[in-house]
Structure 1
Amino acid sequence: MENYVNTPDMACETVPAPKQAGLSRIGLIVPSSNTTMETELPELFRRQAEATGHKYTFHSARAGMKNVNREELLAMVAKAADCAAAISDANVDAIAYACLVAVMAQGPNAHTGSEESIAQAAAENGHPAAVTSSAGALVRTLQEMGVRKIAMVTPYMKPLTQMVREYIEGAGIEVLDAVSLEVADNLAVGRLDPQNLPQIARDLQHEGAEAIVLSACVQMPSLPAVQLVEDELGLPVITAATATTYEILKVLGHKPSISGAGSLLSGAPVKLPTGI
């Protein structure tokens, strides 16, 4: 039998490999039943790549969660650090914790602690990465836009929608109206038709609102409707997915250049309504 000697050249990796120019790797931590975040984000970044020439790849870790209830959401949270360590093995440049309501279920401003925990797990694994979360991205993006009042759509049961409402209002943003589609099964949420969202948005009580949150959930498909609703209502429209995309681009130092997904990602200044 041939003998092998473990030389420095053959040793397991002990330091992160150098980053490849013109390419960014994005890690996603998603619920095991999520079917939307890994389709909408790659599509958004495909448009970004088409406009800028910079390329992006996606690398996911899944945490068990089938039904959108408090018990399963909190159980998922406990797995986030392990998922972060696993993703960081791919030497990603940024990690997005892509379950908005799992973070919000922990209480006010919980995104800060969740993001710190994920960043620590990646760093301790030898692959530090910038970290955002869908919960943090949504509230920070609204704050950065200067939005004080919104109307929003969620797929959740009413108690969870109320929890999301209170979380957002705890960040200083008033929720004038919130529609609950009351779908408990997370796979069923992913099958909702985004073509129904324009009518749902029309029915929102949005007088006085400065922006519409068309999907306060990373699992509810919304991308095909974002630009349609923004053009029709004349208000900035964001979703958990577009806010997460915005923050990933921000931490990477890349200017948004994405078409057909609302003014937030277009690269142009977002104009809020005046006279409210």
Structure 2
Amino acid sequence: MTDNQSTPYEILPFTMDAGVMSRAAIGLVVLATDQTMEYEWRKIIDIPGVAFFEARMPSPASITPETLAAMEKDIGGAVETILPGVELKVVAFGCTSGAIVIGEDKVFEGIRKVRPGVACTSPITAAKQGFEKLGVKRIALLTPYVSSLNHLFKDHIDAAGLQITRISTFNHADDSEVARIDAASLKNAILDVGRHDDVEAVFVSCTSLRMCELTSEVEQLLGKPVVSSNSAMAWHALRLAGVNDPQPQWGKLFEL
């Protein structure tokens, strides 16, 4: 047995630096059912001095307008758990369809009740900013959603001054299974819906779809920009945080 009275014990001095977030700290709200977003963000936001910190919030396994609307009450509680007392430059809300059903302004209001004045984004907010920067207006929409959600998407995006010219869907409401839609299915769907003359860019909507490692390849094959939920929101969060590093490996949007 060690004699604590005779064991040398020294309190050491130390200095501190800015830690892993010397350039920016970004907060990320992730749905409880999401299997993809954190994986893709870890790849994209692999920039020295930039860190993101996530919190999960309750979400339904079956995605419908009614179940998405019910998530509004949990937004503030999730944000409250992200590094209390530490300044976040941006908070991102990780649900494309939820931001449309609840409303972007209401989502950001819920965030700012906890983080007053913080810059906010969501996948749909980011996608619209991305299309503006890319200079495209005629968009093909590719989703896993059921019809009722796809029509809400079209109305929302059209109201922003863009035009949804075509809609293609996997028509699947189970978020856990959407995360397992494979690269071949996504690639074929993007090339098919994007090949038409009335399409200037393709929006692949849903944070559960695994797109970040596929985007650059599909853009080269298609010859048009391809914007996806997770990548767009990562790009927009970085730009809002003042991080403008080009990352062309993630697609045309990251060259801006």
| Smaller-chain TM-score bracket | 0.7 to 0.9
Report what 1:149 is aligned to: 138
Query: 3-state DSSP class of the match of 1:249?
Result: helix
Report what 1:266 is aligned to: 255
* Cα distance in 2 for residues equivalent to 1:112 and 1:256: 28
Query: 3-state DSSP class of the match of 2:199?
Result: coil
- The letter for the 1-side match of 2:26 is I
Deviates further, 37-46 or 256-265: 256-265
| Aligned residues of 1:25 and 1:56 also touching (Cα < 8 A) | yes
Where does structure 1 lack aligned partners over 5 or more consecutive residues? 1-17, 268-276
- The letter for the 1-side match of 2:57 is R
Query: 3-state DSSP class of the match of 1:175?
Result: strand
Report what 1:200 is aligned to: 189
1:116 aligns with 2:106: no
| Aligned residues of 1:25 and 1:59 also touching (Cα < 8 A) | no
Alpha-carbon distance, 1:156 to partner: 0.7
| Aligned residues of 2:141 and 2:166 also touching (Cα < 8 A) | yes
Alpha-carbon distance, 1:208 to partner: 2.6
* Cα distance in 1 for residues equivalent to 2:245 and 2:254: 5
1:210 aligns with 2:200: yes
Alpha-carbon distance, 1:90 to partner: 6.5
More RCO (CA 8 Å, sep 6+): 2
1:163 aligns with 2:152: yes
Give structure 1 regions of 4+ aligned residues with deviation exceeding 6 angstroms: none
TM-score normalised by the chain length of structure 2: 0.85
Report what 1:68 is aligned to: 63
Alpha-carbon distance, 1:230 to partner: 0.5
| Aligned residues of 1:148 and 1:174 also touching (Cα < 8 A) | yes
Report what 1:34 is aligned to: 34
Aligned length: 237
Alpha-carbon distance, 1:88 to partner: 4.8
Query: Higher Cα Rg: structure 1 or 2?
Result: 2
Match of 2:209 among 216, 220, 225: 220
Where does structure 2 lack aligned partners over 5 or more consecutive residues? 1-16
1:254 aligns with 2:250: no
* Cα distance in 2 for residues equivalent to 1:181 and 1:256: 34
* Cα distance in 2 for residues equivalent to 1:209 and 1:137: 19
Report what 2:97 is aligned to: 101
- The letter for the 2-side match of 1:62 is M
Task: Tell me the alpha carbon deviations over residues 13-36 of structure 1, each in whole angstroms, 9 at most, x when there is no partner.
Answer: xxxxx9656353222112110111
Alpha-carbon distance, 1:226 to partner: 0.6
Alpha-carbon distance, 1:141 to partner: 2.1
Alpha-carbon distance, 1:105 to partner: 1.4
TM-score normalised by the chain length of structure 1: 0.79
Task: Quickly say closer, same or farther: Cα 1:90–1:221, change in 2 above 3 A.
Answer: farther
Alpha-carbon distance, 1:137 to partner: 1.4
Task: Quickly say closer, same or farther: Cα 1:262–1:201, change in 2 above 3 A.
Answer: same
* Cα distance in 2 for residues equivalent to 1:256 and 1:237: 19
* Cα distance in 2 for residues equivalent to 1:194 and 1:77: 32
Report what 1:270 is aligned to: none
Match of 1:85 among 70, 80, 91: 80
Deviates further, 128-137 or 195-204: 128-137
Query: 3-state DSSP class of the match of 2:238?
Result: helix
CA RMSD of aligned residues (A): 2.0
Deviates further, 81-90 or 257-266: 81-90
* Cα distance in 1 for residues equivalent to 2:53 and 2:95: 16
Query: 3-state DSSP class of the match of 1:196?
Result: helix
Identity %: 23
- The letter for the 2-side match of 1:34 is D
| Aligned residues of 2:226 and 2:251 also touching (Cα < 8 A) | yes
